[in-house]
Structure 1
Amino acid sequence: MKQDVARTVAPFILSRPETDPHPVIFASPHSGHYYPDTLLQNLCVPLIDLRQTEDAFVDQLFASAPQAGATLIAATHARSFVDLNRDARELDADMIEGGLPGPVAAPSARVQAGLGCFPRIGARGENIYAGKISSQDAHTRLDHVHTPYHRALADEIARCREASGCAILIDCHSMPSQQPGRRDLPDIVLGDRFGSSCTSQLTSLVERTFRSEGYSTVRNAPYAGGYTTRRYGRPKRHVHALQIEINRRLYMDEAEITPNASMQNVISAVQHVITEICRFSARLSA
């Protein structure tokens, strides 16, 4: 059998600091847009239904992080293939045939809604698969994408702590401009799990900086931080994790998945945020 190309495409792109390093890591788990054949051949919806779930271009918004002395890790595979901001145990056993790839957690509302580690639905809420996922495919998604990504993230955090005594992880995301039951979504949502995943000084700094750029900013609603902030955010151990959600209407055409005329403005604002976080990290590690 021909080896699935998903095994040969790197699960992420890691860009290290290009100048004096700071103990700061920017992670973009949902901006990948590589769709392996095992997924495409099993689709029963248009590919655009999956593309519209991507955090498209978020890796580009934060691309200047290495120039500021931070690390950037950006996923390559689409979140519809495997969601890196989910626990590997958040699996829907009914989606998989031929044996499960590993332990499965008790069914949660999120998994039942089709939003587990292997998403079952697309942007319109419809089932995306014509048939079940094979056990081999499920193993590939975890062993060759999910596990290496989180191993690299953990290694970078450990490296920062060893060098500076602390680490800051910024989990970078974008959010749809329209959501059922919600009106007037802000420009930016900061998720610190209600103060448990990072020092409030970091959240306040990022909030002030975005607001100084003219963007409305709120905390923890509707996004308080996901698996990544929950897993790695340990302020008492000097590891601070903050999730940033950027409203997609600010920088892209959500229907066509193309940048809009304001994308450069958002990039400039994000550069300001990156700079301030790196400056803050120097004070944090002093």
Structure 2
Amino acid sequence: MTPVEIIKGKSPIILAMPHTGTCVPETIFDSLNTRGHALEDTDWHIDKLYADLLPDATQVRAVFHRYVIDPNRDPSGQSLYPGQNTTGLCPIIDFDDNPLYRNGREPNKTEIEQRRLSFHAPYHAALGAEIARVKARHGLAILYDCHSIQSRKPFLFDGKLPNFNIGTNNGITCDNRLQQAVTDICRNADGYTHVVNGRFKGGWTTRHYGRPKIGVHAIQMELTQSSYMDETAPWAYRPDKADRLRPHLKDILQTLEQLATEMTS
């Protein structure tokens, strides 16, 4: 399995897609239980949702599933949200707190390290290389980390999430002009709700790469899956919903690209 797919673009915008992959090596798949086999916590259809919205954007997409190893978690295993329920580097539970593995088949430290070297590290090597390439070309790079989740997950958060969940680690990972522009678009999107640095403040990708002082800006966008698809199996893409959402996402990406030009002119 090639762990990562890369589309090189000429734009200052990089789309990262760490959770759309559904490939699981056979040996790992065999150790998962029925719940694990369902791959429920996939960011379903995110690549389709963003397709062609910004044709010149670079795209870095993990091919492997997050149950193999989560590329948006700290490789040290440290929690991104201390004191809150979450899933780990190699998840052993899903977003509903259900076990993913057959009894006694959870990965040990040696296997977790093997997965890190085989999947997590190559994904971030590719993403880091693209950030460096784009920054060298434009003088800055804007990493837009694409995510989605079911709108209700009581194990992770109370109530229902807003449609747009913007994460910048409380403003640390990008220039304020970028955060404000994205926020304004989401606020003005008729019929949609939004929050900035709410339950999702940006995962390891956003926090690790977002260094605005050196010209690398990072924003995580967590969308509710109800905004563009059915939230129950078989997780159908809903063109009627997606076609209404996509213009707002296109506006976000085009606005970020324009701001990148202004910030380097």
Q: Does 1:285 pair with 2:264?
A: yes
Distance change in 2, residues 1:259/1:126 (3 Å): same
Alignment of 1:189 with 2:168, yes or no, is no
Change (3 A) 1:108 1:267: closer
In 2, the alpha carbon distance for the partners of 1:147 and 1:33 equals: 18
Q: 1:123 to 1:48 in 2, by over 3 A?
A: farther
* Aligned residue identity for 2:129: D
User: What's the offset of the Cα at 1:48?
Assistant: 5.8
Secondary structure at the counterpart of residue 31 of structure 2? coil
Give 1 or 2 for the bigger CA radius of gyration.
Answer: 1
* Counterpart Cα distance in 1 of 2:200 and 2:4: 24
User: In the aligned structure 1, how far is the partner of 2:170 from the partner of 2:84?
Assistant: 25
Question: How far 1:208 sits from its partner (Å)?
Answer: 1.7
> Which residue is 1:54 aligned to?
42
**Gapped runs of 5+ residues in structure 1?**
1-8, 91-104
When the two structures are superposed, what TM-score results if normalisation uses the length of structure 2?
Answer: 0.89
Q: Which stretch has the larger CA shift, 175-184 or 212-221? A: 175-184
Q: Distance in 2 between matches of 1:162 and 1:15?
A: 17
Contact 1:169–1:241 (CA under 8 A) maintained in structure 2 = yes
What is the aligned counterpart of 2:249 among 270, 277, 284?
270
Instruction: Work out the number of aligned pairs and report it.
Output: 258
Normalising by structure 1, we get a TM-score of 0.83
**Within 1, Cα distance between the matches of 2:194 and 2:109?**
42
Q: Secondary structure of the residue that 1:85 maps to in structure 2?
A: coil
Match of 1:118 among 81, 87, 90: 90
Distance apart, 1:152 and its partner CA: 1.0
> What corresponds to 2:215 in structure 1?
238
Give the whole-Å Cα distance in 2 for the aligned partners of 1:52 and 1:272.
29
The answer to whether the 8 Å contact 1:26/1:65 transfers is no
- Structure 2: give runs of 5+ residues left out of the alignment: none
Moved more, 227-236 or 206-215: 206-215
Aligned partner of 2:133 among 153, 156, 159: 159
2:250 counterpart SS class = helix
2:25 alignment partner, one of 36, 40, 43:
36
Name the counterpart of 1:171.
145
Residue 26 (structure 1) aligns with: 15
Rounded to whole Å, the distance in 2 between the matches of 1:126 and 1:46 is: 8
User: In structure 1, what is the Cα distance between the partners aligned to 2:84 and 2:252?
Assistant: 36
- Aligned-partner Cα distance in 2 for 1:224–1:250: 20
Give % identity: 30
Give the drift of 1:276: 1.5
Asked if 2 retains the 8 angstrom alpha-carbon contact of 1:110 and 1:116, the reply is: no
Q: CA 1:176 to 1:30, structure 2 compared with 1: closer, same or farther past 3 Å?
A: same
Residues 41 and 149, structure 2, Cα contact 8 Å, conserved in 1: no
